[in-house]
């Protein structure tokens, strides 16, 4: 969501007309649902927790003022979110509900007052437990006669996902309950999480293996738990704190505190920071203490959970729609501080995107010294109207990069001028800065350097792409080697890779290299001098020209010479050449624009020529028109057993089929292996023909 969309429309709830409120509730429901899917189903949140909480808070505030507008599908009536279909559904014995949030001392006072009112209590302070609110994912684990029989995620609160096999791999979760006195049937509930050290190690290993890293420990925990293969989960050091229960065959405690003690005696970890406190004062004190402990815990918490200690009182208090009256989550605010914006520097990212970075007078935000904050892009600077010398509010939420929330009005130094975003890249080439476009050709808020390979900031990223598996696939030329060889001045462009043999002797004298490794590296490089046209095109790293587009272009032009001749004409926007390219399948304005921009730069054109002189680019195979699958759109899903996904795709394309990643009305065939999920379901719904892998092989062979 662009920031202006988020901030621009924020009108105090008290000023909203009824029509505006209704509109906004619709918008908020959509936005919250989208975020829920990103967070719960895809483990890939797109907004910070604080932003998400703010959406929910505003939704609740509007509903409180216009109760008759509460929608049937209001986010305030839902818990959790959509399940994915990789795991079998499990109905919880007792629904897994969630807690209402409190954001201030006043909210906590209101909670205490409500409890007392409801129970008609006198002056005696109420006993509560105050427990850290662990930021992981909740799980319900069913024990029958003391044996673990089933474990499920929360899902939508009523039905979760069966993650028994994975949960069994977690050391801190007992497979058999210890001690005695446990009910014959009990669903133990708690939070699966990852500690900070384990999270850092996991991400480091993922980064080293070139895999995607997780944004925060909670997503890493969710991603680790929801692995199809429990062996992968077993390798992730997941942990578990027990703090609640669902269905039980017999009561086993009289207080929450007593229940926590029992859970511990039966072999579970419970949070050592939990306390039993009395009255509002106790609640507020516990919150302050937890805030102070937070940086030293070694795992993420996002607040404190208050629960009425007496379970008979909990019973009487009961629930309102989705949350209990007996408990509430007091959330930590995003941490903020005031400081001065000293400078704005422009960083050039690996893809050439220019990111303005705020240099700040160092300030402590939530126990961490902050000296930089991201300003995202030129539009964000304009929205904040941030000027050098301004006093600003910076915010840190969880692990996210510090952000500037606002400029403090009235503290602007005299004569401070609005920031002008540079028109040239800060690299020595001083290339022109261009606005990035999306695949459909629309301008975005991002600005990029147009220098590509020639821009020293982008060179490494381009080289990395060039040697990657799907491009030139040069083994032995990893990040480390690319950096080292670049620093020695041996690698400035892809063509230089094919001249590395000139540095053979220096290489042999380099620590870590021997006769064998040098020979292997140079042989791997030599083997790639003969390259298919599609890999050649893809390796150039032209924006919007991914593997599929490169294949389409290779088939369309047939030879490197024809391709380059066409590109020269495209760079000049020759209408005939543009028309020819446009006529190719799946190619539109974005690709044409990107190709034109790339080949219009002399340094790119010279680089490509230099590279081509080193290579023997093979002509592309023209697609066959007379096969059983020619012209058909095919989707592969599930795991294939006779061939890899890449092989299957290449084979299908060779035979003239188009391979797509998702099933739609345009799909002709779905080839499904074991473990196929939602795509198979969609195919059935749309009446698309489904084949097994063997049936597919028979079809293409015939
Ligand atoms: S008790 C009826 N205790 O917070 C709900 N929840 O919004 C009972 N959480 O889904 C939940 N720490 O994932 C409880 N000490 C704690 C907790 C805790 C974290 C999470 C849990 C729950 C959510 C509630």
At 466-506, the pLDDT tens digits run 998 889 999 999 888 998 898 899 998 999 999 999 999 99
What is the spatial distance between Cα 641 and Cα 621, in angstroms, rounded to a whole number?
27
State the Cα–Cα distance between residues 429 and 427, nearest whole angstrom.
5
Catalytic residue among 11, 133, 231, 331: 133
Task: Check pocket membership of 102 for ligand 1, CB cut-off 6 A.
Answer: no
Distance of CA 139 to CAs 39, 164, 227, Å?
A: 16, 10, 15
- Using the CB atoms, write b or e for 568-581: b if 16+ within 10 Å: ebbbeeeeebbebb
Helices 456-467 & 479-487 angle (0-180, nearest 10) = 140
- Hey, which of 138, 152, 314 would you mutate to test ligand 1's pocket, going by the most ligand atoms within 8 Å of its Cβ? 138
Class of domain 452-528: mainly alpha
What pLDDT, in 10s, does the model give residues 250-275? 999 999 999 999 999 999 999 999 99
Residue of the nearest CA to atom 16 in ligand 1? 133
* Percentage of the chain modeled with pLDDT above 70: 91
Residue 77 has pLDDT above 70, yes or no: no
Distance 102 CA to ligand 1 centre (A): 13
> Using alpha carbons only, what angle is made at residue 329 by residues 326 and 333, rounded to the nearest 5 degrees?
155
Superfamily classification of domain 3-77: Helix hairpin bin (1.10.287.610)
Q: Please tell me the predicted confidence (pLDDT) of residue 402.
A: 84
Residues 415-429 have pLDDT tens digits of: 998 899 999 888 777
Q: Name the residue at shortest CA distance from atom 12 of ligand 1.
A: 133
453 near 459, Cβ under 8 Å? yes
Atom 3, ligand 1: residue with shortest CA distance: 243
Task: Give me the sign of the Cα torsion angle 384, 38, 188, 272.
Answer: negative
Q: Give 522-546 pLDDT, tens digit per residue.
A: 999 999 999 999 999 999 989 889 8
Q: Which tens digit of pLDDT belongs to each residue from 435-457? A: 876 656 677 778 888 777 678 77
- What CATH number matches the domain at 532-618, 1.20.120.1200, 1.10.150.20, 3.40.640.10, 1.20.1080.10? 1.10.150.20
Q: Is 133 a catalytic residue?
A: yes
When pLDDT is averaged across residues 619-635 and rounded to a whole number, the result is 82
Residue 129 phi/psi, 5-degree rounding, is: -95, 145
- Expressed in angstroms and rounded, the spacing between residue 189 Cα and the centre of ligand 1 is 9
How many angstroms is it from 191 CA to the middle of ligand 1? 8
Beta bridge partners of 448: 353, 434
- List 434's β-bridge partners, or say none: 448
List of long-range contacts for 164-171, beta carbons under 8 Å, 24+ apart? 165/230, 166/225, 166/226, 166/227, 166/230, 166/233, 167/139, 167/141, 167/192, 167/225, 168/230, 169/230, 169/233, 169/234, 169/238, 170/233, 170/238, 170/239, 170/240
pLDDT score of 368: 67
Q: Quick one: which atom of ligand 1 is closest to the CA of 244?
A: 1
Please check whether residue 542 is in contact with residue 628, taking contact to mean a CB–CB distance below 8 angstroms. no
- In this prediction, residues 412-416 reach a mean pLDDT of 92
Calpha distance 376→3 (Å, rounded) = 10
Mean pLDDT of 634-658: 82
Backbone angles phi, psi at 677, to 5 degrees: -120, -110
Cα distance between residue 625 and residue 636, in whole Å = 21
Question: Tell me, what's the pLDDT at 7?
Answer: 31
Domain boundaries, the chain: 3-77, 89-331, 452-528, 532-618, 633-701
Q: Which atom of ligand 1 is nearest to the CA of 133?
A: 12
Q: In angstroms, what is the span from residue 186 Cα to ligand 1's centroid?
A: 18
Backbone angles phi, psi at 141, to 5 degrees: -120, 120
Nearest CA to ligand 1 atom 10: 98
- Which residue among 95, 140, 191, 297 has the greatest number of ligand 1 atoms within 8 angstroms of its CB, and so is best to mutate? 191
Strands 633-637 and 669-672, by their bridges, are: parallel
- The tens digit of pLDDT for each residue in 29-41 reads 888 877 777 766 6
Ligand 1 close to Cβ of residue 259 (< 6 A): no
Question: For residue 133, how far is its CA from the centre of ligand 1 (angstroms)?
Answer: 7
* Statement: residue 403 has pLDDT above 70: yes
pLDDT score of 107 more than 80: yes
Element (H, E) at 216: none
Residue 355 has a pLDDT of 85
Give the 3-state secondary structure of residue 460. helix
pLDDT of 9 reads 41
Determine the Cα angle at 587 with ends 582 and 588, to 5°: 75
The sign one gets for the Cα dihedral 674, 679, 685, 687 is negative
Ligand 1 lined by 262 (C-beta under 6 Å): no
Ligand 1 atom nearest the C-alpha of 101 is: 7
Which position has the higher pLDDT, 553 or 621? 553
Q: Residue 222 and residue 214: Cα distance in Å, rounded?
A: 10
pLDDT mean across residues, the chain: 87
Going by pLDDT thresholds of 50, 70 and 90, the confidence category of residue 582 is: confident
Q: Do domains 452-528 and 532-618 have the same CATH topology?
A: yes
Q: Which pLDDT value is given to residue 399?
A: 46
First-to-final CA distance of the chain: 50
Any atom of ligand 1 within 6 Å of the Cβ of 29: no
**How far, in Å, is the centroid of ligand 1 from the Cα of 408?**
36
- Residues belonging to the chain: 702
Place of tokens 């509900």: 97
CATH of 633-701, one of 3.40.50.1980, 3.40.50.10190, 3.30.365.10, 3.20.20.450: 3.40.50.10190
Is the Cβ atom of 191 under 6 angstroms away from ligand 1?
A: yes
| Cβ of residue 153 lying under 6 Å from some atom of ligand 1 | no
Residue 325 in contact with ligand 1 by CB distance below 6 A: no
Q: Is 100 in the pocket of ligand 1 (CB under 6 A)?
A: no
CATH number for 89-331 (one of 3.40.50.720, 3.10.150.10, 3.65.10.10, 3.30.470.30): it is: 3.30.470.30
How many Å apart are CA 382 and CA 356, to the nearest integer?
12
The one-character DSSP state at 37 is I
- How, if at all, do strands 658-660 and 633-637 pair? parallel
Residue 138, ligand 1, Cβ within 6 A: yes
- Ligand 1 centroid to 258 CA: how many Å? 18
Q: Coil, strand or helix: which one is 673?
A: coil
User: What does the DSSP 8-state code read for residue 283?
Assistant: H
């Amino acid at each position: 969501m662009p920031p202006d969309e988020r901030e621009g429309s924020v009108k105090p709830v008290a000023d909203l007309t009824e029509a505006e409120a209704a509109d906004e509730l619709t918008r908020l429901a959509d936005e919250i649902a989208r975020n829920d899917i990103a967070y719960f189903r895809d483990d890939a949140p797109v907004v910070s927790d604080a932003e998400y909480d703010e959406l929910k808070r505003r939704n609740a505030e509007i509903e409180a003022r216009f109760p008759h507008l509460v929608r049937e599908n209001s986010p305030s009536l839902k818990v959790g979110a959509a399940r994915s279909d990789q795991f079998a559904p499990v109905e919880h014995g007792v629904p897994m509900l969630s807690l209402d949030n409190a954001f201030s001392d006043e909210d906590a006072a209101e909670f205490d007052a409500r409890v007392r009112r409801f129970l008609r209590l006198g002056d005696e302070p109420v006993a509560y437990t105050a427990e850290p609110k662990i930021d992981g994912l909740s799980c319900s684990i069913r024990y029958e006669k003391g044996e673990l029989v089933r474990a499920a995620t929360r899902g939508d609160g009523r039905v979760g996902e069966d993650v028994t096999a994975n949960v069994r791999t977690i050391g801190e979760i007992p497979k058999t309950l210890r001690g005695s006195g446990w009910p014959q049937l009990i669903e133990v509930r708690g939070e699966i999480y990852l500690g900070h050290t384990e999270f850092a190690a996991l991400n480091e290993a993922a980064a080293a293996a070139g895999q995607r890293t997780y944004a925060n420990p909670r997503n890493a925990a969710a991603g680790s738990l929801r692995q199809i293969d429990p062996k992968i989960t077993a390798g992730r050091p997941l942990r578990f704190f027990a703090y609640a229960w669902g269905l039980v065959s017999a009561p086993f405690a009289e207080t929450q505190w007593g229940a926590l003690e029992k859970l511990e005696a039966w072999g579970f970890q419970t949070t050592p920071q939990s306390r039993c406190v009395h009255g509002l004062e106790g609640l507020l004190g516990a919150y302050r203490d937890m805030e102070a402990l937070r940086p030293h815990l070694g795992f993420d918490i996002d607040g404190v959970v208050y629960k009425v200690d007496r379970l008979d009182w909990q019973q009487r208090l009961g629930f309102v729609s989705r949350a209990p009256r007996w408990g509430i989550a007091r959330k930590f605010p995003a941490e903020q501080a005031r400081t001065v914006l000293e400078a704005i520097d422009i960083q050039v990212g690996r893809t050439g995107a220019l990111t303005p970075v705020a240099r700040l007078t160092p300030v402590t935000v939530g126990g961490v010294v902050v000296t930089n904050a991201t300003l995202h892009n030129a539009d964000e600077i304009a929205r904040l109207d941030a000027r050098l010398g301004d006093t600003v509010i910076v915010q840190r939420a969880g692990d996210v990069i510090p952000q500037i929330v606002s400029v403090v009005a009235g503290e602007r130094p005299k004569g401070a001028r609005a920031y002008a975003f540079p028109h040239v890249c800060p690299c020595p080439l001083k290339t022109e800065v261009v606005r990035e476009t999306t695949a459909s050709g629309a301008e975005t808020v991002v600005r990029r350097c147009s220098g590509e390979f020639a821009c020293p900031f982008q060179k490494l990223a381009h080289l990395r792409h060039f040697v990657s598996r799907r491009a030139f696939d040069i083994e032995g030329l990893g990040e480390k080697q690319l950096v080292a060889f670049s620093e020695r001045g041996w690698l400035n462009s892809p063509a230089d890779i094919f001249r590395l043999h000139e540095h053979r002797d220096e290489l042999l004298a380099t620590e870590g290299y021997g006769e064998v490794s040098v020979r292997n590296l140079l042989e791997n490089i030599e083997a790639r001098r003969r390259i298919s046209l599609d890999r050649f095109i893809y390796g150039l790293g032209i924006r919007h020209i991914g593997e599929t587009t490169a294949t389409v272009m290779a088939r369309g032009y047939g030879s490197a010479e024809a391709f380059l001749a066409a590109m020269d004409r495209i760079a000049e926007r020759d209408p005939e050449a543009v028309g020819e390219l446009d006529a190719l399948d799946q190619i539109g304005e974005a690709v044409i624009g990107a190709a034109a921009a790339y080949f219009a730069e002399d340094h790119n054109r010279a680089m490509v020529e230099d590279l081509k002189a080193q290579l023997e680019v093979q002509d592309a195979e023209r697609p066959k028109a007379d096969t059983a699958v020619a012209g058909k759109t095919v989707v592969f899903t599930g795991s294939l057993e006779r061939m890899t996904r890449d092989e299957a795709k290449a084979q299908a394309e060779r035979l003239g089929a188009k391979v797509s990643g998702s099933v739609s009305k345009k799909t002709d065939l779905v080839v499904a292996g074991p473990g196929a999920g939602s795509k198979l379901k969609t195919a059935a719904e749309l009446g698309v023909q489904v084949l097994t892998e063997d049936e597919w092989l028979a079809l293409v062979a015939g």
